[in-house]
Amino acid sequence: MPHKVSLSRLKLTDFRNYASAGLQLDGRHVVLVGDNGAGKTNLMEAVSFLSPGRGMRRATYGDVTRVGAHGGFTIFAALDGMDGEVEIGTGVDGNDESTSRRLRINGTPAKTADELTDHLRLLWLTPSMDGLFTGGSSERRRFLDRLVLSLDPAHGRRASDFERAMRSRNKLLDERRFDPSWLSGIEEQMATLGIAMAMARQEMLGLLVRLIEETRETSPFPSASLDLAGFMDGQFDRPAVDLEDEYAAQLAESRYRDAAAGRTLEGPHRADLLVRHRDKRMEAARCSTGEQKALLVGLIMAHARLVANLTGHAPVLLLDEIAAHLDENRRAALFDLIDALGGQAFMTGTDRSMFSALDDRAQFFTVADGKIFE
């Protein structure tokens, strides 16, 4: 059984509709029940700030700071983490979007937000992800990259460095400054980073596909078949250096074409995650809404299992309105699956009875108008 990472305390100040709120947790799963607009998702979003980035809504700091607050917001959490007991504090001082958020781990300022991944891995599933299979490829890429990131924290840095290099190349091309040595330098950098990104995605997907295969018989959710397309398709059995050379050559060749298009036409930023319902042999986008939800839940749960297997620590799960679209049997099966993962899950819903199958495996809280009651 993997080690259980669990939050024991959470305190918020001026975060969304919470002026000040606190939660004392006993390590079980956490169910937040309340009417629409009560603040259930906001609370989960606060937990999601315990991972690098801007949380599960990718919000600006101005958005998450409580309307009417004089300064910024703060989030404090105490947890039994991957490296033992730890206290994490984060927040911003004001509404200045240019500042990055402050982060203290055991009272010491962290150098980068990546340090958070030494203490916990967070995975989330929100209603806004329901359109993942039918929407544009950028959402799926972001989804995929988050999956990679929870196993390989360096992936975020690689992706942002690639973006930066690509932007400088696009700018040079846009200004028609075709200086070959300058461009080659940038393109070599893009090739190293871009191939590393693509390989990390490919590797994670390979592991996930194998795990889905192994748990196929026992999973209450439909299995997905997964593929990556759109960049260096079918070539990932070749050595990385060959792919880097090839991508750098492609970039050099396509300077005039990219200049005309106003963007870089080839690269890992164009890849797409292809998802199919395995048993039905149907593209996920053409499955029913319920089937798509079940596929997505299955995918997240498989990934959570993968993270637990590879790190030895069960990830913390944030499952917003997870029970809403599932029938009673599937709901009970999901709760069992979550429980079997051995970690702590946060779940929200408008009706407590939806979670009755969890029974004493969860701690229940009622949320109303930015206040929390046990």
Ligand X SMILES: Nc1ncnc2c1ncn2[C@@H]1O[C@H](COP(=O)(O)OP(=O)(O)OP(=O)(O)O)[C@@H](O)[C@H]1O
Instruction: Pick from 6, 23, 33, 42 the residue near ligand X by CB under 6 A.
Output: 42
Q: Does 371 carry a binding-site annotation?
A: no
Nearest approach, Cβ of 281 to ligand X (angstroms)?
Answer: 35
Strand 362-368 with 371-373, pairing: antiparallel
Report the C-alpha gap between 79 and 88 in whole angstroms: 8
Q: Does 38 carry a binding-site annotation?
A: yes
**Is 29:361 a contact under the CB 8 Å cutoff?**
yes
- Give the residue with the Cβ less far from ligand X, 192 or 348: 348
Instruction: Pick from 34, 153, 222, 315 the residue near ligand X by CB under 6 A.
Output: 34
Report the C-alpha gap between 47 and 39 in whole angstroms: 13
Q: Does 71 carry a binding-site annotation?
A: no
Q: Under the criterion CB under 6 A, does residue 39 sit at the interface with ligand X? A: yes
Nearest approach, Cβ of 38 to ligand X (angstroms)?
Answer: 4
Nearest approach, Cβ of 295 to ligand X (angstroms)?
Answer: 22
**Per-residue DSSP letter, 110:** P
- Measured in degrees and rounded to the nearest 5, phi and psi for residue 184 equal -60, -40
- Give the residue with the Cβ less far from ligand X, 16 or 155: 16
Beta bridge partners of 23: 10
Segment lying near ligand X (by CB under 6 A), choices 37-45, 266-274, 290-298, 306-314: 37-45
Q: Does 194 carry a binding-site annotation?
A: no
Amino acid at 328: E
Report the C-alpha gap between 307 and 66 in whole angstroms: 34
Q: Does 36 carry a binding-site annotation?
A: yes
Q: Does 185 carry a binding-site annotation?
A: no
Residue with tokens 């929407």: 135
**371 SS3 class:** strand
Contact characters 130-149, ligand X, x per CB under 6 A: --------------------
Contact characters 303-342, ligand X, x per CB under 6 A: ----------------------------------------
Instruction: Pick from 67, 136, 218, 360 the residue near ligand X by CB under 6 A.
Output: 67
Residue with tokens 């498989």: 302
Nearest approach, Cβ of 268 to ligand X (angstroms)?
Answer: 33
**Is 17:370 a contact under the CB 8 Å cutoff?**
yes
- Give the residue with the Cβ less far from ligand X, 36 or 108: 36
Among the residues of the chain, which ranges form H helices? 40-48, 61-64, 137-149, 154-174, 180-214, 240-253, 255-261, 289-311, 328-341
Instruction: Pick from 266, 350, 357, 368 the residue near ligand X by CB under 6 A.
Output: 350
Q: Does 40 carry a binding-site annotation?
A: yes
Q: Under the criterion CB under 6 A, does residue 91 sit at the interface with ligand X? A: no
Q: Does 107 carry a binding-site annotation?
A: no
**C-alpha to C-alpha distances, 21 to 9, 32, 39, 165, nearest whole angstrom:** 11, 14, 11, 42
Q: How far from chain centre, in Å, is Cα 328?
A: 27
Instruction: Pick from 38, 151, 166, 345 the residue near ligand X by CB under 6 A.
Output: 38
Beta bridge partners of 109: 104
- Give the residue with the Cβ less far from ligand X, 225 or 366: 366
Instruction: Pick from 41, 74, 117, 344 the residue near ligand X by CB under 6 A.
Output: 41
Segment lying near ligand X (by CB under 6 A), choices 63-71, 131-139, 176-184, 330-338: 63-71
Nearest approach, Cβ of 294 to ligand X (angstroms)?
Answer: 21
**C-alpha to C-alpha distances, 268 to 123, 198, 202, nearest whole angstrom:** 23, 6, 11
Q: Under the criterion CB under 6 A, does residue 70 sit at the interface with ligand X? A: no
**Is 52:118 a contact under the CB 8 Å cutoff?**
no
Report the C-alpha gap between 272 and 254 in whole angstroms: 21
Report the C-alpha gap between 290 and 300 in whole angstroms: 15
Q: Under the criterion CB under 6 A, does residue 17 sit at the interface with ligand X? A: yes
Instruction: Pick from 36, 98, 181, 218 the residue near ligand X by CB under 6 A.
Output: 36
Q: Under the criterion CB under 6 A, does residue 13 sit at the interface with ligand X? A: no
Annotated binding site: 34-41
Return residues touching ligand X (CB under 6 A). Answer: 16-17, 34, 36-42, 63-67, 348, 350
Annotated binding site for ATP: 34-41
